[in-house]
Copies of this chain bind each other. A is one copy, B any other.
Amino acid sequence: MNSKNKSASGKYGNLQTLLQGAGLRPTKQRLALAGLLFDGCDKHVTAEQVHASLTRMKAKVSLATVYNSLNHFRGAGLLRQVVVDGGQAFFDTNIGSHHHVFDEDTGLLTDIPAASIRVSHLPKLPQGKKLARVDIVLRVQSNA
């Protein structure tokens, strides 16, 4: 049943579980969004990109809802936000420990495993502060 949704059967159930497990009501819009994002491949998306994709695949979700949902997903720990330059924010479906390569020519963002970079000699932090995260961005550009 429910043959119109491409992420039917198992997939659908998993997404529903995923959202519920995160304390989010599995609405049509969120399921569509989750179906797009959590397909097993790591992704870096912007709100506009996701909105465009949803629109292209005939899932009517307003841009505001895309923003709200992405933020909810982030709050629930399903996504991570990455900022590489002013402009737009990226949402990263890879929530494990890792870093990024930002291509300044194309604006594309790529993951690199945390293990690829070894950081040593972290400085001591101010009193009463703890390290929340280490963000490393390798900025690359064409060497033409």
**Chain A contacts to B: CB under 8 angstroms:** 83-86, 89, 101, 103-104, 112, 115-123, 125-126, 128-144
- Are A134 and B139 in touch, CB under 8 angstroms? yes
CA of A141 to CA of B126, assembled, Å: 10
Give the chain B neighbours of A101 by CB distance below 8 A.
123, 125
Give the chain B neighbours of A126 by CB distance below 8 A.
103, 140
Which among B115, B122, B135 is the interface contact of A116 at CB below 8 angstroms? B122
Q: A86-B89, A135-B137 are in contact. Are A128 and B116 (CB under 8 A)?
A: no
- Are B129 and A123 in touch, CB under 8 angstroms? no
Oligomeric state, in number of copies? Answer: 2
Give the chain B neighbours of A119 by CB distance below 8 A.
117-119, 136
Give the chain B neighbours of A144 by CB distance below 8 A.
128
Distance in angstroms from A15 CB to nearest chain B CB is 28
- Are A122 and B129 in touch, CB under 8 angstroms? no
Closest to A125 in B: B140
- Are A130 and B112 in touch, CB under 8 angstroms? no
Give the chain B neighbours of A135 by CB distance below 8 A.
135-139
Give the chain B neighbours of A116 by CB distance below 8 A.
121-123
Distance in angstroms from A96 CB to nearest chain B CB is 16
Give the chain B neighbours of A112 by CB distance below 8 A.
123
Give the chain B neighbours of A134 by CB distance below 8 A.
136-139
